[in-house]
Structure 1
């Protein structure tokens, strides 16, 4: 009987050693796949499958695609890129707009390099911070938040955003990372393309310029895929392609001057565009409220504590006291900018995330994912728990539902 117990103990010890060896193979030095997260800024699901994106279409057909993905409020670039990597609503991670004001930090603008690189603006815990703390190397080819030491941590390798950097340079850098030996190869890498968003803003979501931008970006992704295959890396890359929001057409003339919304003597403008924020001036609160609050022909305004509950927005102190939401197809800009506005249809986002025009894309392909799978529409906070699972790291606190994207995985247990 005694010898039986010793035998069982020995078998258990062997199994424990085997399990430890299996787990260590997914830690630094192991050969676990890299998660490559790619953003195509401003791409709507309807922009796919119409001849401009053969490589993206093939990935969607052979891997996993969603019918659409709904952005978080507000449907803007910085808030939603940061939501994708934290799983938190903008109202929780603090990146509540592309333009903000904080009583302690002052003003934030997405082109202000000092503000963008200041970790105090960026709340929550982005995925690269979690990965780095777990000993997994990360590398970012542009992603909002990656230029700042969030919680004192940066990606192992990162680059300051460089608008217009050649597509081939971006692809070559990412390929270099993916081709490294397991000890140094990033377990998480990001890649960002601003080109569709720029073309859409300038000329509208169905313009020849946007079609051309999509073809260029798709060709770059095709080059990336060809090089991955040629280097035998297909089984070492899980590819997730997303966008932050869609794009709506704004016909010429469909613009409101913010000075016509409220007298500048009564309220200071915090943000313009589609989600327009105001701070009533001291002693002028009643006048500002009388001019702004309620429904208007081209927009609607609320006190921040009374914003529609479905937006899950208004608790963070950076949200301005009064928020106005433009109707789809309308912008609000300072009067001084009206003369510089081209007399043609352009494109905008930042409208109600429930508007079909604001829908984003989700495509996934690689060894972790099923083939030929289409998912129903879902909320973009649900991407984060999937990404954390792919990296095999414990997710930080988040607002997503890990069950939403389980059907995308080969192993959905």
Structure 2
């Protein structure tokens, strides 16, 4: 059986399930998120095997000259398939004649390549973790004729609590206990129905979380003058587009190392991030140092008065950004510990478990091959 969640260090706990036939267990030392280590980019990387620079969800907030603005709370944009490149696992499964169901997974609200999951829900943050797990259990408890072969569930409670109160707060621990209870409910239900040994379960997070002291927040306006550049995204990864006629001035002010952040032209970002080619990446990208946020001035005073908070979006190589990977089921060995690997490798694993031909991707199944039982 897969371990319960009481000791997990990851945030934004997710669940992927695929029907099969025996049992086992494996975990990774950690899993490296893709750059930028933000929510939507990495959720979509996990199910496409493409890095954000290839699938096009390069940030939680984006600008496209044809499509306009993308933000998490813009439901029209989130549901527009033109934003979402690549081929998510539910599309590949559909092509292979398999049924799919998703609970709040980014990308699942859009029609991609003419396909939606067979079951999907519009994101509703107010839906309790236990209710999400119960819906997953209900889907998997259906008769074989309608039961989904792939189910994805998304639990955001731990991420939300850690953002507001810090990753080491009592509120974050309580959120983790709630997620643990929901996951336990799912496992117990599967066991009672005799399904647990016939299902492969993969638990992952899309990123880690770093502590941000109250005073460590900068005003974006102190980084770049809004009269000289459009700030496309804020937080930990700043996307900046100089206004016409101000390119040289903005570059002179921003490019290079600073006490709390570093800035590059999009074509000169660190190669290990594999980022900067997609046309949605703004001309200049500034990366905040771990433990620092950059927000519009109107939010800075409020944040400075708050206690410790949590943030992600920092360099994926940092230990604090390490993500979670636990898997169990008939396809997996028992007690195997994998060395760290990149999260792009999860998609080819899903394709392997479900038996569909993977689309073009950046992952490598061989990195996870040691976790698998012999054929």
The TM-score bracket by the shorter chain reads over 0.9
Structure 1 distance, partners of 2:66, 2:291, is: 35
Structure 2 distance, partners of 1:289, 1:168, is: 49
Task: Find 2:309's aligned residue among 341, 346, 354.
Answer: 346
Structure 2 distance, partners of 1:395, 1:358, is: 27
Q: CA deviation at 1:403?
A: 0.1
Name the counterpart of 2:99: 137
SS at match of 1:149: coil
Q: What stretches of structure 1 move > 2 A for 4+ residues in a row?
A: 43-48
Name the counterpart of 2:9: 44
Number of equivalenced pairs: 358
Name the counterpart of 1:119: 81
TM-score normalised according to structure 2 size: 0.93
Whether 2:254 is the aligned partner of 1:297: answer no
Name the counterpart of 1:309: 271
Distance 1:131 1:250, change over 3 A: same
Name the counterpart of 1:401: 364
Structure 1 distance, partners of 2:129, 2:9, is: 21
What do the CA deviations read for 1:351-371 (whole angstroms, capped 9, x no partner)?
000011000000001111111
Name the counterpart of 1:53: none
Structure index of larger Rg: 1
Name the counterpart of 2:52: 90
Name the counterpart of 2:349: 386
Structure 2 distance, partners of 1:107, 1:291, is: 26
Distance 1:295 1:155, change over 3 A: same
SS at match of 2:358: coil
Structure 1 distance, partners of 2:161, 2:82, is: 32
Contact 1:45 1:67 in 2 (8 A): no
Structure 1 distance, partners of 2:35, 2:310, is: 18
Structure 2 distance, partners of 1:169, 1:217, is: 11
Contact 2:12 2:158 in 1 (8 A): no
Q: CA deviation at 1:47?
A: 12
Structure 1 distance, partners of 2:252, 2:54, is: 29
What do the CA deviations read for 1:277-305 (whole angstroms, capped 9, x no partner)?
10100111111111111110100000000
Contact 1:170 1:191 in 2 (8 A): yes
Q: CA deviation at 1:45?
A: 5.1
User: How well do the aligned residues superpose, as a CA RMSD in angstroms?
Assistant: 1.5
Task: Find 2:129's aligned residue among 143, 167, 173.
Answer: 167
Structure 1 distance, partners of 2:188, 2:145, is: 24
Whether 2:217 is the aligned partner of 1:250: answer no
Name the counterpart of 1:266: 228
Structure 2 distance, partners of 1:250, 1:168, is: 29
Higher mean displacement: 160-169 or 124-133: 160-169
Structure 2 distance, partners of 1:361, 1:172, is: 23
Structure 2 distance, partners of 1:47, 1:123, is: 22
Structure 1 distance, partners of 2:272, 2:333, is: 32
Distance 1:199 1:236, change over 3 A: same
Contact 2:11 2:158 in 1 (8 A): no
What do the CA deviations read for 1:11-38 (whole angstroms, capped 9, x no partner)?
xxxxxxxxxxxxxxxxxxxxxxxxxxxx
Q: CA deviation at 1:46?
A: 10
Structure 1 distance, partners of 2:181, 2:335, is: 22
Contact 2:11 2:159 in 1 (8 A): no
Structure 2 distance, partners of 1:222, 1:46, is: 17
Name the counterpart of 1:363: 326
Whether 2:241 is the aligned partner of 1:276: answer no
Whether 2:374 is the aligned partner of 1:374: answer no
Q: CA deviation at 1:74?
A: 0.1
Task: Find 1:326's aligned residue among 255, 272, 288.
Answer: 288
Name the counterpart of 1:17: none
Name the counterpart of 2:174: 212
Contact 1:267 1:288 in 2 (8 A): yes
Q: CA deviation at 1:190?
A: 0.5
- Superposed counterparts of 1:181-200, under 5 Å: 181-200=143-162
Q: CA deviation at 1:142?
A: 1.1
Q: Extract unaligned runs of 5+ from structure 2.
A: 14-23
Name the counterpart of 1:5: none
SS at match of 1:131: helix
Structure 1 distance, partners of 2:300, 2:219, is: 8
Structure 2 distance, partners of 1:47, 1:399, is: 23
Q: CA deviation at 1:44?
A: 3.1
